[in-house]
Amino acid sequence: MKLSLAIPESALSDESLKIDKTRKISVLARACAIFKIDTIYVYQEGQSRNDGALMVMILKYLETPQFLRRRLFPKMNDLKFAGVLQPLKIASHITPANSKKIVRGDIREGIVVSVKGKRFVDVGINQMIQYYGATSVGKRITVQFKEGHPRLSIKEIDKSEVPSYWGYSVKERANLYSVLSEWKGSIIMTSRKGKIATVDQLAKYTKTDESILVVFGSPDKGIHEIVGGKMNKVQNAKSLNFFPNQATETVRLEEAILGTLAILNIQSTS
């Protein structure tokens, strides 16, 4: 089961302070990392475009290994409260800094840098690794060591070649319908108006290798209201309620994501 999410930029509208928005994004990122989300689509909904930019920036920042952040993210106002962010601690982040511990087959994230006219990759160890690939300077890449210490040579690989979970990607979309219309797999639309998510219904999704997009609405509008009259054009979509008999008036996005993904995760392993 390969999962991706679609979430609205307006999810931050119920927080007034940037520090609280930052904390909320941190919770969202942690939930996505826990349940191995492949891609997070942030779609525009509502009036605050600044919230969308903030969400995308911090989600990307958190997914980036700590040793690369200084090179890839200059000082900016959107990262003013980065100190409150909780680390993801996924496999791509937990890497030794001592080059003597590098062995053949190790996989790392790195950034292409130029030193005296030659290109190298900084992978967070105490030496640069010469690079002969086509990626331009300043770009982030995934590499695998062809030889370990002391010779240290690398090859560039695609993230899909990494056997363990290596992090999510973040994509922006102008509206929810554009996400739904371009999606090639199955779609689960979370809604309190949907059918109650049963074991039999979820088995259709969790017992397959097909990519699944899980869609969440905004604090003020449900998915059907956001998409409007174009809903009948959406293919392979099912509306499900993961919180039947809820006692609260609403379920916040961070709660909905954690609850929904936990249920799907249990179903996929049972």
Instruction: Give me the CATH number covering residue 124.
Output: 2.40.50.140
User: 92: helix, coil or strand?
Assistant: coil
pLDDT higher for 47 or 145? 145
Give the E-state strand segments of 149-246 in sequence order: 153-157, 169-173, 186-196, 211-215, 237-241
Residue 253 · residue 215 · CB < 8 Å: no
Lowest mean pLDDT among 6-15, 185-194, 202-211: 202-211
Alpha-carbon distance of 156 to 20, in angstroms, equals 38
Give tens-digit pLDDT for 159-191. 999 999 999 999 999 999 999 999 999 999 999
Backbone angles phi, psi at 223, to 5 degrees: -60, -45
- Kindly state whether residues 68 and 181 are assigned to the same domain: yes
State the pLDDT at residue 182. 93
pLDDT band at 48; cut points 50, 70, 90: low
Does residue 156 register a pLDDT over 70? yes
- Kindly state whether residues 66 and 52 are assigned to the same domain: yes
State the pLDDT at residue 230. 85
Residue 112, beta-bridge partner list: 121
The CATH number for 241's domain is 3.40.1280.10
- Kindly state whether residues 261 and 132 are assigned to the same domain: no
Give tens-digit pLDDT for 112-133. 999 999 999 999 998 899 999 9
Domain that holds residue 150: 99-161
Answer yes or no: is 94 within a domain.
no
Does residue 11 register a pLDDT over 80? yes
State the pLDDT at residue 232. 83
Q: How many residues does the chain have?
A: 270
Angle at 123 between CA 118 and CA 129, to 5 degrees: 35
């009036």: which residue's tokens? 47
Longest C-alpha distance within the chain, in Å?
65
Calculate mean pLDDT across residues 146-152.
92
Calculate mean pLDDT across residues 151-155.
94
Lowest mean pLDDT among 15-24, 128-137, 231-240: 231-240
- Kindly state whether residues 228 and 202 are assigned to the same domain: yes
Number of structural domains (the chain) is 2
State the pLDDT at residue 29. 98
Query: Of the candidates 45, 73, 57, 65, which has an alpha carbon nearest to the alpha carbon of residue 21?
Result: 57
Q: What pTM does this model have?
A: 0.94
